Amino acid sequence: EADEARNAQDPYNINGVSATYMILNRNKRTLPLNLKTKQGIAIARRLLDGTDVVVENFRPGVLERLGLGYEEIRKINPEVIYGAISGFGRSGPYRDRAGFDLMAQGMAGIMSVTGEGPGRPPVKPGVPMTDITGGILLAMGICAALRHREVTGEGQMVDTSLFEAGIVQTYWHSAIAFSTGETPVPLGSGHPLNSPYQALKTKDGWITVGAANRSTWKRFAELVDPRMLEDSRFSTNEARMENLPDLVAHLNSLLEKKTTDAWLTLFENAGVPAGPINSIPQMHADPQVLAREMVVTQTHAEAGPVKTLGLPVKFSNTPGGPRHPASLYGQHTREILYEAGYDDSEIDAFISQQVTVASS
């Protein structure tokens, strides 16, 4: 029950193993610890003595009450980099609030500029943006802190939040609000300053087109309807933005005459940026995705062969990727505790006292 991500009644499972858990936890060793016991705290402190980086995502104060907060850990490991991510960060009036991606997106303004226009219900993007971005921001901060430690020998805490991860996504809309005093509104798939730069309907689906600058617009219009180049409503970007509903209606009527693939071929040959709107399975099968090894197969001990997402950053000298599948519950308990200096009798005692769990 302690490992909710693993044990949740996930309808999206493979042979009884959560598919989400397997994607998020590959390449990791795991050690279950009951931190409500003195032995569990003692084990954690021993493991943290000498470690380079600690990462936690509890609400502020939880680990402090257990004696595992930054100030306590730095006493035994002064050079530690202690990364903490929470709903709202370690300071400010909201620091003690619980927070999830949904709240962060709403409070950061993301949901106010997402959707099909004013007067419609707020829309949350289909992916957990602040969860993902928050992790990336924390990793970047930890890398910077490690570099600082390399130069100075100093450890430090790195603190970020889901709320801030949402705020940084609004750089464009914040710039508009700062400069004009106006409140940005949702524009569907469109852009606040340029057009056409959005999704358009084809004969068999949808396509995205980015023909916002003068030269790209000219190439696009010559393919779709050359008369638009002389139409005062559409001849300049300013005019197109003023007449955006008319432009979109006109373009949809034209693009619906051909399939997505037909338009993509024409646009690619003309140097017009465009792409299909894929479903998730279509994205998984995309040749570029496969060529970049962004969908790979691993063999999990219980689930068997499973597909997972690959490494989105490529290194010329140190190639990486998902080498090890997500662990079984308690799979690495003995291995990790041996490395920490415990012997079999001590580990067996921890298991019998429900301080930890081992699968073997």
Taking residue 181's Cβ as centre, other Cβ atoms within 10 Å add up to: 7
Assess whether the region 79-187 and the region 197-271 belong to the same CATH fold.
Answer: no
Q: pLDDT band for 212, please (50, 70, 90 cuts).
A: confident
Q: What is the pLDDT of residues 48-91, one digit of tens each?
A: 998 999 999 999 999 999 999 999 999 999 999 999 999 999 99
Q: Is the pLDDT of residue 124 over 70?
A: yes
Task: Kindly indicate the confidence band of residue 118, based on its pLDDT and cuts at 50, 70 and 90.
Answer: confident
* pLDDT at residue number 9: 62
pLDDT of 18-46, one tens digit each? 999 999 999 999 999 999 999 999 999 99
User: What residue has token string 């795991």?
Assistant: 30
Is residue 1 pLDDT above 60, yes or no?
no
Overall average pLDDT of the 257-262 stretch = 98
> Does the pLDDT value for residue 119 go beyond 90?
no
Q: Residue 202 — left, alpha, or beta (φ > 0 → left; ψ -120 to 50 → alpha)?
A: beta
Top-tier CATH class for 197-271: alpha beta
The pLDDT of residue 117 is 81
3 band by pLDDT with thresholds 50, 70 and 90: low
Q: Is 286 an active-site residue?
A: no
What is the reported pLDDT for 2? 55
The whole-number average pLDDT for the span 263-279 is: 98
User: What are the tens digits of pLDDT across the range 157-204?
Assistant: 999 999 999 999 999 999 999 999 999 999 999 998 899 999 999 999
What ranges do the domains of the chain cover? 79-187, 197-271
ω into 118 cis (within 30 of 0): no
Q: Kindly state the average pLDDT of the residues 303-330.
A: 95
The predicted structure's pLDDT at residue 16: 86
pTM: 0.92
Note the pLDDT of residue 54: 98
The phi and psi torsions of 264 (rounded to 5 degrees) equal -60, -40
Confidence of residue 4 (pLDDT cuts 50, 70, 90): low
Least confident of 59-63, 109-113, 119-123: 119-123
Question: Out of 131, 225, 261, 286, which one is annotated catalytic?
Answer: 131
In one-letter notation, the amino acid at residue 287 is P
- Tens of pLDDT, residue by residue over 276-304, are 999 999 999 999 999 999 999 999 999 99
Q: What is the CATH number of domain 79-187?
A: 3.40.50.10540
Average pLDDT, the chain: 95
How confident is the model at residue 360, as a pLDDT? 80
